[in-house]
Amino acid sequence: MNEATAAPVARSAGYRWRLAWFVLLVVFASLWFERHLKAYVSQTAIVGGTVTLFGLWKLVLDALGVAGEKGPADWLRRAFTSARASGYLGFFTLLIGALWACTSSIYLTYDSDSRGSGSYRVEIWQGNRLLRPAEVLNPHDKFVGQPYFFHFGREDLEFRIAQPVGYEPKKISWQTGSQITVPVPYSWDPLELHLVKIVPGKDFLHSLPTTATSPGLRYRLVLAREGADPEDAFVVEPLLKTVVFTGMPEIELAAATGDAVVESTRVEVDRMLLRMSTTDDTRPELVEQLFASVAKRPMGRLVAGDKLRIRVYSLSAAPDAQPVLKVDQVLEIKDRKTTTHVVTLEKLPQPAGGTP
C-alpha cells in the first residue's frame, strides 16, 4: 500500500475507533444519568439511545463504504479525525469514570400497588442523625431523592416511615457507587404494635380519686417488663379514675389513640360496667368520669414474648407507712401482629381487717 492510499485508510480507521469510543461513552453516560439522576433528568434513555443508534449506524455505513468524505455528514468525520479528538474523548472517559466511581444515590418511589392511599413521610437516618430532611412521598411522585457525590465507605442506613405509623424500620447497606431505590410502603413490614388499655375494675371505680387534689386514698400504678431492669419500670402517680392507654412510644401511641379509638373504648367500658351490674343511675356518671381526661402514657414498644407486670399500690399519708400492694397482674404478649389488650384492674384478696 503506497503512501497515497495509506493516509486515508489510517484516517478512516482512526475515525471508526474514535466513533466507537464515543458511542461507548454515550452508553455509560446515559446509564449514569438514568441511575443517579432519574428524578431530575427525564427521557435520558431515549436521548442516549438515539445518539448511540446514530453512532452505530454511522459505523456500519463507514464499514460498508457507503459514507464518503463528502456530504452532509462531513462534520462528524472531521470531528473524529482531528488531532484533538482523542484528547477530548480521553478527558470525558476520565470524567465519566470518576462519576461512576464517586457517585451514589438514594431514591424513594411510590409503590404502584398503593397509589391513592395517601402520602408518606420517610426519614433516612445515618447513625444518630438524619441524612437529610424527611422526604414526603405523594401518589403522583415517581421518584424522590438525590445523588450523593464523593461518598466513600460502607454503612447501614435506617429508613423509617414517620407518618403514618405502623411500619418497621428498614436497614439498607449504603456504599460507594451504590444506587438505592426503595418502594414505599411495599418493602416495609408492618410494625408490631400492642395497645394496652388499663381500666379500673369494680373494686376501684369508687375508691380512685377523680383529680390529683381529690380527698381520699392515693394509688400508684407501676408497669414493668418481667426480667427488665427495675429502674426501667414505668410509674403513674397518682393513679386517677380514668382509662390509661399505654404499650408503645409517644408517636405511635398518639396515632393509635385517636378520637375514634377513645370513643370505641368508651362503648366497651360502658358494656363492661353493665356486665358488672352497675346501676343505670351511676353508670353514665362513672363512664363520664373515666373519660373526662384519658391518660396516654407512652412507654417502650411491647413485642411478642414480653410479659408486662401491672401493679397498683395504695399510698398512706403517714410518713413511715409502706405502700400496700393492691393489684398484681401479668399481661403476656403472644401475638406478633398489632393487637389491643384490655386489662381490668382487680384487687388482690385482702386479709380480714386489711386496708381497703
- Provide the residue ranges of all domains of the chain, joining segments of one domain with +: 3-82, 104-184, 194-345
Convert the pLDDT of each residue in 150-174 to its tens digit: 888 888 999 998 888 788 889 999 9
d(CA 355, CA 143): 65
Convert the pLDDT of each residue in 169-186 to its tens digit: 899 999 888 899 999 887
Q: Which helix (H) or strand (E) holds 326?
A: strand 324-332
Measured in degrees and rounded to the nearest 5, phi and psi for residue 191 equal -75, 135
Report, as an integer, the average pLDDT of 255-272.
90
- Does the domain spanning 104-184 belong to CATH 2.60.40? yes
Report, as an integer, the average pLDDT of 111-124.
75
Closest CA to 191 of 1, 5, 338, 41: 338
- The per-residue pLDDT of the chain, averaged, comes to 80
| Residue 171: per-residue pLDDT | 92
| Comparison of pLDDT for 212 and 235, the residue scoring more | 235
Question: Does 109 have pLDDT greater than 70?
Answer: yes
Report, as an integer, the average pLDDT of 21-30.
81
- Whether this model's pTM surpasses 0.75: no
Which residues have CB under 8 Å from 340's CB, separation 6+? 194, 195, 196, 197
| Residue 7: per-residue pLDDT | 47
| Residue 44: per-residue pLDDT | 58
d(CA 7, CA 321): 110
